[in-house]
Amino acid sequence: MADVIGLWIQAILTIMITTLAWKDTPVSKTAEHIYVGVVTANSIVMAWGNIDSIGLSKIFAGDIIYILPVILGLMAYFRYSKENFWIYRYPIALVVGIGVGTAMRGLVGSSVIDQVKDSFWSLNVPGDIGASVNNLIMLVTLVSALIYFLFTIKVARGPIATRLSTFGRYAMMASFGYSFANTIATRINQYAGRISFLVLEWLQLG
Amino acid sequence: MGEQSGIGNTLANLPTWLYFSLIIILMAYITLNPLGFPIPVTSLTIDCYDAIDALQPGDIILMDQGYGAGTMAFHEPGFIVVFRHAIDKGAKVVIVSTSVESPMLLQRAIDKIKPAAKGYEYGVDWVHLGYVAGGEPAYASIVEDINNLFTEDWEQTPTSALPLMQELGVPTHEKIALVYIMTAGGDVVEGWIRQSALRYDLKFITQVNEMMVPTILPYYPINCDGILNGGVGAAEYEVYSGYSGEAVKLSDMMTMGGLVVLVFLILGNIGYFMTKGGSS
Amino acid sequence: MELVAGKMLDLVVLAGIWAVTLFLIYSKREIWIRRLPALDFIEEAVGRAAEMGRPVVCQGFGSGSSGMQSSIAPMIMAGLAVLGHAARICARHGTQIVATMRSESVVPVADEVLRTAFRLEGKLDEYLANREEMLPWLPTQAAMVALAHRIRPAAHIIIGAFWHESVQIAETYGALGAVQIGGTGRLYQIPFFAAVCDMNLIGEEIYAVGAYINQTPQMLSSIATADYFKLAFIVFILLGVIMATLGMVDPLVSLFSW
Amino acid sequence: MSQRTIRRQIPLALTFITGMIITFDWFIKWEPLQSVTKTILNFNVVMVAFMMGFAGVNLIMLHTRRIKRNMSQNKMLDVAISVMLLACLIGWSAVGIFMGRSSDTYQWLYSNFNLPLSSTAYAATLFYLASATYRVIRARSTETIILVVVSIITIMSNMPMFVTYIPALLIFKTWIANVLVKASYRAITIGVGLGGILMGVRTLLAMETGFLGAVEE
């Protein structure tokens, strides 16, 4: 019984929220508000799981130092206080510091050094003219797109550099075309999942 | 020119309800009557297949089952087919989640994979650790020392009671043979690439939304050994590995939906050129 | 205590970036930055709106709960710089400008930006009288779409940080015939802006536009530092390609694996 | 210590110190540094988990305000919708926390409410995207012509139907991905990477202080 009720709830909510694409009506508004409520609740439940298993249970197991993040986490709620707002700055300062440190240390290697290292393409691949031509195209594209993103260097505004950077922009537009087509594929796939639910599981036409 | 621009106007201003209904009706029709065209397999998918195929019995895969309900339609088939392949290779699987919705979606997928039927025992051959907050710093912590981070699994069994977790030990990255990330968030893949593939040279494959593939391509093949291109990639994997699944069905629906979008994109532009010709 | 092998060049580059940034900021030298064509386009679009007597909408600063207090703050600042620029032109022509914020934390900052813009044009009273109308806080997509249908803007400037909502917003304004200028630093949304906007700013360009308008030394120094390093990498790539073509790239590869 | 020190300078110093510890952990192998980093990284998980509660508090504040306003204007439908949102928020959280997230009740609630809503709300963007391809995307300049042509060919090459009859599509798709897209996105990646590092430098040097919130001291 619970399964059948569940199936109908699922189907009705799916249709209700789809109408959002057509027009903002009380029906779609209701669905949207339920959505916001339950999604937020779910993330609170998951967050509680982390506080419980990584914070509290370690304290009870004798790892007393984990009382620190719990206190800091509670301090974060001073964000809603007008007078003692500054207390919130301690936990957020730590979270920002940790996040920035973790990202910055890896960015140098992954986004910069390794990218450059992988770009030493040979323009003379023995016995494979196609590969050589492709490497040349990649080189021109990469360099011209990099030149396109130079903003404070006057040399990069010379006639050749300007032409290259225009080419760079065109190459990026072609890539965006590819990416845009892929976006359409993603969205259709997502909706296809819903349609196959409605047709196969709810209406059981298959 | 007047008549021409009239047609142009009509073409450019067909009602959207017609367009939307066409998409829905044709996709629903295709669900019941699949087209069944052969699916070509691209090299990105073959690289993912090879990475799994190279695993030895007893090797450990770290999986981030980081998809939410929004992208479940195509991430779940990908997860299922890779998991099945891993079981056949005898590899052990450690599952964590970096999206708040994903732990709730795991049971659905496990019901379809049925690891127990292949003699895969929970706790010994695979574990599910659930959601972990905190983003990139948390990934760094996982590959560094997973037992220091998690004290219990999703069902709240202490990790000390799970043999697979004991096997992982310190430092964790030395025991991991492959990292497989499923996600719809760009920062997630790049964060994992930096903390695992770049830092410890771990083998790394990922399944992302089709739209994210271009942003991951620069990392391939230096730090990323294979990319499953969303639903398209999952379907290719199913075809290439021979495990039948839902992604192939999805690919037919995508063809139909894509066809409608394509026709309307072209119609809209023809209409635009005809009216522009009329006005100038 | 020992250094990790294979990460030496990373350390050198990271230290170099710190050093160059600090030098540029504290030496207070003037930094030239080029004017991007998008700025001219914004002026044109706002001028067109003035001719047609229809408003300009400038929107999308922050999303949901993330605003000034998260890592997207620089994108929001860039968007606000453009808002200030557009608001001055609007004030001059007497065109109505509407700035909508998604994140509540951005509203006071945007208020300051608009106030300054109108004061510089000597029309502060006009702004204060219409403040409620010009700076609504619209947290939902539905509210932004409703706004578009109500005021039917002639120009729509959408620069900042966006998630998948950008699809809906840009589609609505584009279909209503507004000239659109879009830009974001979030990579996944750029292709979409490139497709639907009449002029788009790709990634870092939004910071460059912001720095050009505001001339803040920190931002200018950052952009200049990035430029120097990009130029150095272009040189290394060209060198590497020449050496690879001659079949002697190994020393360079081992430098980059140092 | 002055108020300014406690309220502003110490937090900024904490950001700098934690950022530096974690950065150096990448380059230096040193036992004490490693164990400090490990602990800090785990602290982060707990603190971020606490901060995920903000979304709930914000919703409660926003909707109690809305309920009051709409009550006075007699918009009962809007009041009902807000009340329902709060009921869902509190009900779901209570079930998840007290009965347990892996309990059957929570699993039932999740699969029948969260799952359809979450997946459809995301998927429904298809219609805006579709509408945009028809009504907004126009080949009006060289740039957009390139974009539209490439996307038409890529859409076709993503469909097995077209690839069966025109095998060249697949070659084109592979070529554009491995040559054009890879090279141009590499330029963007380098730029974004440098931008991210510089953003980090500015944050650690207390030049980006937006995260501290309110402007006044």
**A58 in a domain, yes or no?**
no
Instruction: Retrieve residue A43's tokens.
Output: 């993330």
- With beta carbons under 8 A apart, name residues in chain A contacting C205: 149
For chains A and B, what is the number of CB pairs under 8 angstroms? 148
User: What's the CA gap between C51 and D157, in Å, rounded?
Assistant: 45
pLDDT in tens, chain D (217 residues): 788 888 889 999 999 999 999 999 999 999 999 999 999 999 999 999 999 998 899 889 989 999 999 999 988 999 999 999 999 999 999 999 999 998 999 999 999 999 999 999 888 888 888 888 888 888 888 999 999 999 999 999 988 889 989 999 999 999 999 999 999 999 999 999 999 999 999 999 988 877 776 544 4
**A120 and C247 in contact by Cβ < 8 A?**
no
d(CA B94, CA B149): 14
Q: Is residue C67 very low, low, confident or very high in pLDDT (cuts 50, 70, 90)?
A: low
**C-beta pairs of A55-59 under 8 Å, 24+ apart in sequence:** A55/D46, A55/D49, A57/B151, A57/B152, A58/B151
Contact C69 A123 (CB under 8 A): no
Nearest to B104 among D110, D133, D177 (CB): D110
Predicted pLDDT at B110:
94
Q: Number of CB pairs < 8 Å for B and D?
A: 161
Amino acid of residue B209: N
Chains with at least 3 CB pairs less than 8 angstroms from chain B: A, C, D
Q: B34 preceded by cis ω (within 30°)?
A: no
User: Three-class SS of residue B262?
Assistant: helix
Q: What is the mean pLDDT of chain B?
A: 90
Out of A38, A51, A187, closest to residue D50 by CB:
A51
Q: What is the pLDDT of residues A56-98, one digit of tens each?
A: 999 998 889 999 999 999 999 998 888 888 898 899 999 999 9
D179 touches chain B (CB under 8 A): no
Report pLDDT for C69: 63
D24: phi then psi, degrees, rounded to nearest 5: -70, -25
B18 domain-assigned: no
Angle (CA) B243 B209 D158, round 5°: 70
Residue D135 with chain C: CB contacts under 8 Å: 171, 174-175
Residue B243, SS3?
coil
Res. C171: pLDDT tops 50: yes
Let me know: does B5 contact B279? Beta carbons within 8 Å: yes
Phi, psi of B94 (to 5 degrees): -110, 120
With a pLDDT cut of 90, the percent of chain A lying above it is 66
Task: Tell me if A206 sits within 8 A of A199, measured CB to CB.
Answer: yes
HEC string of chain D equals CCHHHHHHHHHHHHHHHHHHHHHHHHHEECHHHHHHHHHHHHHHHHHHHHHCCHHHHHHHHHHHHHHHHHHHCCCHHHHHHHHHHHHHHHHHHHHHHHHCCCCHHHHHHHHHHHHHHHHHHHHCHHHHHHHHHHHCCCCCCHHHHHHHHHHHHHHHHCCHHHHHHCCHHHHHHHHHHHHHHHHHHHHHHHHHHHHHHHHHHHHHCCCCCHHHCCCCC
- Homologous superfamily in CATH for domain C37-214: NAD(P)-binding Rossmann-like Domain (3.40.50.720)
Q: Is the pLDDT of residue B76 over 60?
A: yes
Q: How confident is the model at residue A8, as a pLDDT? A: 95
Dump pLDDT digits (tens) for A138-195.
999 999 999 999 999 887 788 899 999 999 999 999 999 999 999 999 999 999 999 9
pLDDT above 60 (res B277) = no
pLDDT at B1: 40
Whether residue B269 lies inside any domain: the answer is no
Q: Which of B259-273, C46-60, C135-149 has the lowest mean pLDDT?
A: C135-149
Q: How many residues does chain B have?
A: 280
Segment B264-280 shows an average pLDDT of 78
- Is residue A49 domain-resident? no
Write out residues 180-209 of D within 8 Å (CB-CB) of B: 181-182, 185-186, 189
A76-82 long-range contacts (CB < 8 A, ≥24 apart) are: A76/D47, A76/D50, A76/D51, A76/D54, A77/D50, A77/D53, A77/D57, A79/D54, A79/D213, A80/D57, A80/D61
| Cβ-based neighbours of B122, under 8 Å, separated by 6 or more | B115, B116, B128
> What range does the domain containing A184 cover?
121-206
Q: What is the mean pLDDT of chain C?
A: 87
**D60/A contact by beta carbon, under 8 A:** no
Looking at this predicted complex, what is its ipTM? 0.92
| Domain count within chain B | 1
CA-CA distance, B26 to B34, in Å (whole number)? 11
Q: Where residue C130 falls among pLDDT bands split at 50, 70, 90?
A: confident
Q: Which residues of C touch A151 (CB under 8 A)?
A: 33-34, 36, 204, 208, 211, 223, 227
Q: How far apart are CA B167 and CA B251, in angstroms?
A: 40
For A99, the closest chain B residue by CA position comes to B137
Residue B80 contacts residue B235 (beta carbons within 8 Å): no
pLDDT at D217: 41
Q: pLDDT band for B214, please (50, 70, 90 cuts).
A: very high
CB nearest D45 (choices: B101, B134, B261): B134
Q: Name the pTM for this structure.
A: 0.93
Rounded average pLDDT over C74-97? 89
Task: Map out the domains of chain D as residue ranges.
Answer: 3-125, 138-204
pLDDT tens sequence across B31-68 = 898 888 889 999 999 999 999 999 999 999 999 999 99
Contacts of D46 in chain A (CB under 8 A): 50-51, 54-55, 66, 69-70, 73
On whether the CB atoms of residues A43 and D118 are closer than 8 A, the answer is no
pLDDT of amino acid A139: 96
**Mean pLDDT value across chain A:** 91
> Side chain identity at C50, as an amino acid letter?
A
List of chain D residues whose C-beta atoms are within 8 Å of the C-beta of residue B73: 119, 123
- Mean pLDDT lowest for which of B126-135, C125-134, C222-231, D27-36? C125-134
pLDDT tens, residue by residue, B93-142: 999 999 999 999 999 999 999 999 999 999 999 999 999 998 899 999 99
The pLDDT of B201-210, averaged and rounded, is: 93
Bridge partners, B180 (sequence order): B63, B205
N- to C-terminal Cα distance for chain C? 18
Q: Residue B2: pLDDT band by 50, 70, 90 thresholds?
A: very low
pLDDT at position D216 is: 46
Considering the domain boundaries, does residue B274 fall inside one? no
Who's near A10: CB < 8 A, 6+ residues apart?
Answer: A197, A202, D111, D112, D115, D116
Confidence of residue B273 (pLDDT cuts 50, 70, 90): confident
Residue of C nearest to B211 (CA): C188
Shortest distance between the Cα of A175 and any Cα of chain C, in A, equals 8
Is residue A28 included in any domain, yes or no? no
Q: Is the pLDDT of residue B280 over 70?
A: no
Give the CATH number for residue B183: 3.40.50
Contact D158 B266 (CB under 8 A): no
Backbone angles phi, psi at A143, to 5 degrees: -65, -40
Chain A residues closer than 8 Å to C243 by CB: 120
Token pair in block for residue A162? 């300007």
Scanning every residue of chain B, which has its alpha carbon at the shortest distance from the alpha carbon of C189? Answer: B211
Percent of chain A with pLDDT over 70: 100
Cα→Cα distances B232→A185, B250, D142, Å: 8, 9, 30
Looking at the predicted structure, is the pLDDT value of residue B72 above 50? yes
DSSP state of C56: E
Q: Would B72 be classed as within a structural domain?
A: yes
State the Cα–Cα distance between residues A121 and A119, nearest whole angstrom.
Answer: 5
Position B5 scores a pLDDT of: 58
Angle (deg, nearest 10), helices D182-204 and A129-148 = 40
C65 pLDDT more than 60: no
pLDDT band at C235; cut points 50, 70, 90: very high
What is d(CA B109, CA B2) in angstroms, rounded to the nearest whole number? Answer: 59
Task: For chain C, list the contacting chains (3+ Cβ pairs, <8 Å).
Answer: A, B, D
Q: Is residue B190 part of a domain?
A: yes
D205 contact A CB<8A: no
